[in-house]
Amino acid sequence: MPLAMTDIGQIGLIKKIGGNVETKRFLESLGFVAGGKVTIVSKNHGNIIVNVKETRVALSSELANKIMV
């Protein structure tokens, strides 16, 4: 399921990163890699804040839908 559909506080294991090559590269530079853990911190109007690799990252709903957990 897409990361954007998970609940606040839920820990997910990243299974796949979708999108074009540039999008995948950008998300990987932020720490979103297959096999990594991600936790939803908050959601606001479709945008989400997550913890990934001990760092908080804000994502648009568009980018969050490209990350499968």
DSSP notation for the chain: -BGGGSPTT-EEE--EE-S-HHHHHHHHHTT--TT-EEEEEEEETTEEEEEETTEEEEE-HHHHTTEE-
CATH number of 3-68: 2.30.30.90
What pLDDT, on the 0 to 100 scale, is given for residue 67?
A: 94
Q: What is the pLDDT along the chain (69 residues), one digit of tens a residue?
A: 999 899 999 999 999 999 999 999 999 999 999 999 999 999 998 899 999 988 999 999 999 999 999
**Sequence ranges of the domains in the chain:** 3-68
